[in-house]
A and B are shown apart, each in its own frame.
Chain A
Amino acid sequence: MPQITVTVDGITHEVEVEPRLLLVHLLRDRLGKTGTPIGCDTSNCGACTVLMDGKSVKSCSVLAVQADQSDILTIEGLSTDGTWHPLQKAFHEEHALQCGYCTPGMIMASLDLLRENPAPDDDAIRKGLEGNLCRCTGYCNIVRAVRRAAAEMSGREVSAT
């Protein structure tokens, strides 16, 4: 079996994997990173989104062997020393989740969006999150949360709207 080296949330793992093992299964079943859920399993919903070398990917559509020598960031690696990331705080404060199943993917995709565009307008936020589905219909609050986090991350005042 191929041996791969992956760094997940700052910790480097050397693991033997079957070639057909999906990255999301490596994360959840082998490394215990169950913060990343499996949603649709057909690369539509984006619930399993993680960052791979800084860019968002759907971890159900990447083989673990393809992630060899890469740096993975999951929702579990987002807070630092128990302090929530501005996106996590904003999703909480804006009530941007109901059942919460899509939230890890929404937050990771938002992080990628803000890397590309630190001050997105609502349209850019909606476009940036087009690969992530929320079935509780919470998009309005999700967009608000991303806007709030963007403001906090760039030190701007949060607008009231």
Chain B
Amino acid sequence: MIPAPFDYVRPGSLDEAVTALADAGEDAKVLAGGQSLLPLLRLRLAYPSTLVDIGRVPELKGVRDEGDHVFIGAMTTHDEVLHSDLVRAECPLVALATATVADPAVRHRGTFGGALAHADPAGDLPAVAVALDMRMVARSRDGEREIPAAGFFVDYLETALGPGEILAGVRVPKLGPGWGFHYEKFHRTAQAWAIVGVAAAVRRSNGTIEEARIGLTNMATRPLRAAAVEQAVRGLAVTDTAALRGAAAHAAENTDPPSDLHGGPDYRRHLAQVLTHRALMAAAAA
């Protein structure tokens, strides 16, 4: 299968990139690692007039410590994220979820920013983004703006990025001591998309859960926070399996899971509860 024809530009800087994107008009598309976009083009599910390839924009690469947060450049590949000591030390949940993205070859090309800007509700990183309240840095010809993760994911494959905006990077808040993390993913084969996934961060003190952040993958057309679970879990003992199961039973509240050949909404609601329990247990013990 061969994509439909398109024009191609490869800017060498972020300024050039936002100019190229603005000049190319509203049917242009940004090409990051291409691991989601190229299959779409090959299946002729997308017909961009122009691809703006940001693969050689140096400002978009790399991971930096910026005090109270870690900045991850949008074009940092999943593989580079996994190999970043800074990410592993300060954003373990990002590393845990990234390790489950697709397979090694895809992780060599696919990028952190691309996976977020693609906004597939079955993708693993959007749920982590909302769980950790990441801040998305968007660049356009008019300058830079920050979009909180909670407002970034609008709908299926749709973000708050405007037509002339490029996701330049993401600010991942450092959570500090006392937190445990886990990403629990249920999928049919090793490299497949999540049928349901749960990103959990749990702050413990003296054997009690003080605060939890739970992100849900593929339980709606965008990633969700399991707010009812986060409330119910406060004050529970980290080892109280039954109580944690009870809290996790709220995981499907206010969700709108999709139906596809892997399962219907009821199945996914059940999965969300089971996986949230597992994720809580693992994060509380981590």
Contact = CB atoms under 8 A, between A and B. Distances in A.
Interface in B66-94: 79
A128 B190 CA distance: 11
Interface stretch (B98-106, B128-136, B154-162, B277-285): B98-106
A18 interface: yes
Contacts of A78: none
A56 B105 CA distance: 5
Interface stretch (A8-16, A59-67, A90-98): A59-67
B42 A41 contact: yes
Interface stretch (A19-27, A140-148, A149-157): A19-27
Contact of A130 (B55, B79, B191): B191
Nearest to A59: B105
A20 B8 CA distance: 9
Contacts of A113: 104
Contacts, number: 84
Interface residues of A, number: 31
Centre residue among B102, B105, B106 by max chain A CB count within 10 A? B105
Interface stretch (B32-40, B166-174, B198-206, B228-236): B32-40
Contact of A42 (B2, B34, B43): B43
Contact of B105 (A2, A18, A46): A46
A125 to B, nearest CB: 12
B175 interface: no
Chain B interface size, as a band, is: 20 to 34
A56 B51 contact: no
Contact of A66 (B34, B43, B190): B34
A37 B2 CA distance: 15
A57 B105 contact: yes
B38 A61 contact: yes
Contacts of A33: none
Nearest to A20: B3
B10 A62 contact: no
Contact of A57 (B3, B42, B108, B191): B108
A49 B42 contact: no
B190 A130 contact: yes
Given A41-B42, A61-B38, A131-B102, A55 B79 contact: yes
B5 A44 contact: no
B53 interface: yes
Contacts of A56: 104-105, 108
Given A19-B8, A20-B3, A130-B190, A62 B103 contact: no
A109 B42 contact: no
A34 interface: no
Contacts of B108: 52, 55-57
Given A56-B104, A131-B191, A132-B103, 8 more contacts: A19-B6, A20-B6, A22-B38, A22-B42, A42-B39, A46-B105, A52-B108, A66-B55
9 closest A-B pairs (Cβ-Cβ)? A131-B103, A19-B8, A130-B190, A56-B105, A20-B3, A55-B108, A130-B103, A61-B38, A58-B105
